Amino acid sequence: MKVLKFGGTSVGSAQRMKDVTKLILDGEQKIVVLSAMSGTTNSLVEISDYLYKKNIDGALEVINTLEKKYVAVVKELYTTANYKEIGSQLIKEHFSLLRSLANDTKIFTLFEEKTVLAQGELMSTALVNNYLCEAGIKSELLPALEFMKTDKNAEPDMSYIKEHIAIQLKEKAEAEIYITQGFICRNHYGEIDNLQRGGSDYTASIIGAAINAEEIQIWTDIDGMHNNDPRFVEDTRPVATLHFEEAAELAYFGAKILHPTCILPAKQANIPVRLLNTMDPTARGTLISTESEHNKIEAVAAKDGITAIKIKSGRMLLAYGFMRKVFEIFEHYQTAIDMITTSEVGVSVSIDNTKHLDEILNDLRKFGTVTVDKDMVIICVVGEMHYENIGFQAKVVGALKDISIRMISYGGSNYNISFLIKAEDKKRALNALSEKIFR
């Protein structure tokens, strides 16, 4: 069975919902994961923010506007009086729940917030499922809150998920289409929770792994992962095939099309992931699997907002234990390091989370002289570049010959070379790479 995920824009209006159903009806049984309608989760976040601040009027205003949108969708989506009524009832229920939380006497905690955020996916899936049922298609909802669960480390509880999704599928074995909610889950304590913003891709990947799917398809509104950032470079094109490692690097370093953690369950279970375009369903998109073209530079991505920190130490020179002490400081402040380079006299690292920068710098000063460069960008070049196949690294470095480079990192895997450069040079660097490598 295949798992297909459609994001917020793909279900962003009644018409889009109708278009999506055309893409999923081919007689094959499948699981369809849906996001909330585009804009909805943002509105729900806004509602929660107002409720945390006890601004009930502010919350109600957003609730009212959002409800109008859903009422209009129901009107347009269904043709029969019966389903129009079912749709109206559904919307009413979800919005009265929201209104019941927008109440002076209620305390608003993380738990209520998670409940608010869950409403988007609960509505989009019910709306689409009812639309299919109205059209006489055997469609069933698979309630994510009954099988999608995280453990005490907030990681997917795969054995629970496997067991409980299997129960659902067995109970509804006759269905042609299973519709389920992306993003939402229950946590270790059984409370409503979610897999973080953009988490529907992750849902699809987890389900794919849990049922050992034939393929996971992520449908968005662009035709696959592009070989460079279309916002800064002209004539980028989709990459046909990527290795899991390459896709993970690209997702982490900036290619917005895929949620970075999403690849992992699919990769672990070795389920191919195909990125496809709802606006152009026949385009071949990008296939991510263990197979990819060998010895080929596939794509370039950039990650903004990076800070570089250099620790120079005379005393600690080459001393063992030095690195550990440095890393412990970052660990202590729960700050992940992206890049690292070393020399005899010191070490440079890059981070993107600067929440504890001042404390980190303070602690690092115990070990040596510390310098900081802000407003940097990581340029990540991805492809199979095994070190025995000479020439790839030279080609990449050569393409950047006119750019000042603060750090270079290669050898962590065979799949990427990363450069740290100034933000102001980003566009020039991305274009130079496309020019020298892809054209």
Is 204 buried (19+), middle (13-18) or exposed (0-12) by CB count in 10 A? Answer: buried
Question: What minimum distance in Å lies between the beta carbon of 182 and ligand ASP?
Answer: 5
Question: What minimum distance in Å lies between the beta carbon of 212 and Mg ion?
Answer: 24
Question: What minimum distance in Å lies between the beta carbon of 144 and ligand ASP?
Answer: 12
Question: What minimum distance in Å lies between the beta carbon of 177 and ligand ASP?
Answer: 20
36 binds, among Mg ion, ligand ASP, none (CB under 5 to 8 A by kind): ligand ASP
Residues that bind ligand ASP (CB under 6 A): 7-8, 35-36, 41, 120, 182-183, 197-200
Partners of 408 in the beta sheet? 419
Going by C-alpha positions, the residue among 204, 214, 42, 40 that lies closest to residue 122 is 40
Question: What minimum distance in Å lies between the beta carbon of 262 and Mg ion?
Answer: 9
Q: Which is nearer to ligand ASP, 36 or 429 (CB)?
A: 36
Return d(Cα 118, Cα 98) in angstroms, integer: 11
386 binds, among Mg ion, ligand ASP, none (CB under 5 to 8 A by kind): none
Question: What minimum distance in Å lies between the beta carbon of 37 and ligand ASP?
Answer: 9
Going by C-alpha positions, the residue among 338, 434, 340 that lies closest to residue 395 is 434
Residues that bind Mg ion (CB under 5 A): 7, 198
238 binds, among ligand ASP, Mg ion, none (CB under 5 to 8 A by kind): none
Q: Which is nearer to Mg ion, 182 or 272 (CB)?
A: 182
Return d(Cα 193, Cα 150) in angstroms, integer: 9
Tokens for 331, please give them: 């660990």
Q: Which is nearer to Mg ion, 198 or 272 (CB)?
A: 198
Task: Tell me which DSSP letter residue 30 carries.
Answer: E
120 binds, among ligand ASP, Mg ion, none (CB under 5 to 8 A by kind): ligand ASP
- The answer to whether 308 and 407 have CB atoms below 8 angstroms apart is yes
Q: How far is CA 387 from CA 295, 405, 417, in A?
A: 10, 21, 11
CA torsion sign for 252, 371, 358, 424 is negative
- The answer to whether 205 and 158 have CB atoms below 8 angstroms apart is no
Q: Which is nearer to Mg ion, 198 or 346 (CB)?
A: 198
Cβ-based neighbour number of residue 304 at 10 Å: 12
366 binds, among Mg ion, ligand ASP, none (CB under 5 to 8 A by kind): none
- SS3 state at 32: strand
Tokens for 239, please give them: 């990459």
Return d(Cα 21, Cα 74) in angstroms, integer: 16
182 binds, among Mg ion, ligand ASP, none (CB under 5 to 8 A by kind): ligand ASP
- The answer to whether 224 and 283 have CB atoms below 8 angstroms apart is yes
421 binds, among ligand ASP, Mg ion, none (CB under 5 to 8 A by kind): none
Question: What minimum distance in Å lies between the beta carbon of 252 and ligand ASP?
Answer: 17
Return d(Cα 164, Cα 140) in angstroms, integer: 16
Question: What minimum distance in Å lies between the beta carbon of 38 and Mg ion?
Answer: 10
- The answer to whether 216 and 177 have CB atoms below 8 angstroms apart is no
